[in-house]
Amino acid sequence: MEENFKKIASIIIIISLLVLSFFIIKPILVSIIMALILAFIFAPVYDWIYKRINNKSLSAALIILILLIIIILPIWFFLPILMRQSVGMLTAVRDLDFVTPIKSIFPGLFDSQEISIEVGYALSTLTTRAIDTVIGSLTKIIINIPTILLHLTVLIFTFFFVIREKEAVVGYVKSLLPFSKEVEKKLFDQTKGITSSILYGQFIIGIIQGIVVGISLFIFNIPNPLFLTILAVILGILPVIGTFLVWMPLAIYLFSTGRFFSAWGIIAFGLISSNIDNVLKPMIVSRRTNINTGILFTSMIGGLAFFGVLGLILGPLIISYLFLILELYRGSGMSGIVSSQGLKGK
């Protein structure tokens, strides 16, 4: 009886401490999660540096320096430009004729003047709201700079200790898992594969696809190229949709205004962007850990609604880990949702 009471009391104490700890770290939880994700992404770079200088702290510090350059310099230089181009896009969209380019390609769909007016109004409203959302987000970044700096500090410290002591962190997590050694190995192997598939196969490649479209915007002197590049990057990360929604409407508009050379150039870069994942993804992601496109897209949208922008990563990771754990308990050999079907490209 006394032994059972001690066990129950211990469980209550542990649960209470876990709940209190959650509320303590809740305000900075996103920063901690982001630090863990960045530690996973930069782990190969850390290993490469550590092999050459054989100093964990210095290797981690160099990675942080690289990380700060990647994060701070683009924000410092590009945020003012992005704000100006966002306002410029909003002004241009309000005066833009959406119907004429589409009508020149699909004349039979716009015989009625009323339909043309309604379609033009709908497209103008949708585009204006999207740009308003971007401007609002950029404004929030500027207003919340003190809070962002606080989160950045938490991110840097967490990232430093996690990547420096990653073997100890992984060992500690393994010691807490209630699985056999065989199941534990399968779990970590598949978890690493799933995380790589989402971070490298979807997120990083999506960014590259958006940048390819962005390069074409600068080459062919398209107005507000930075804003459109950011939009292409965001759409490139999303499965199924892809950068197509940026370069194809732009090419149609260029054809309608007589800029045929620029239009064909945009199409060429767009096709490269839309198909680049078929080349890069097999090189960096194992087919065994590709994620079903429907699950990936749905979990991204749900994650975006629940976590914000970070949900584009967290949503697929959480859902994929859930299916992995369920399949472990089912004893299916971890096939099914995490299977060779994978992503079929955008």
First and final C-alpha spacing in the chain: 61
Among candidate residues 193, 209, 198, the one with its CA nearest the CA of residue 295:
198
Looking at this protein, which amino acid is placed at residue 90?
L
Each as own residue / partner, the long-range contacts of residues 129-134 (CB below 8 Å, 24 or more positions apart, any chain) are 131/86, 131/89, 131/90, 131/93, 132/90, 134/86, 134/227, 134/230, 134/231
Q: Is the pTM of this model over 0.85?
A: no
304 vs 135: CA distance, rounded Å = 18
In this prediction, residue 89 carries a pLDDT of 67
- C-alpha 14: how far from its chain's center? 34
- C-alpha 335: how far from its chain's center? 25
Q: DSSP secondary-structure letter at 285?
A: S
Q: What is the mean pLDDT of each run of 10 residues along the chain (346 residues)?
A: 76 88 84 84 87 88 86 74 69 62 60 64 68 68 75 87 86 74 73 75 84 91 84 81 84 82 90 82 59 75 77 80 76 45 40
In this prediction, residue 212 carries a pLDDT of 92
In this prediction, residue 189 carries a pLDDT of 73
In this prediction, residue 264 carries a pLDDT of 92
Which single residue is written with the structure tokens 């896009």? 89
In this prediction, residue 112 carries a pLDDT of 62
Cα–Cα distances in angstroms (integers) from residue 241 to residues 47, 162, 234, 315, in the given order: 35, 34, 10, 17
Among candidate residues 209, 247, 242, the one with its CA nearest the CA of residue 228:
247
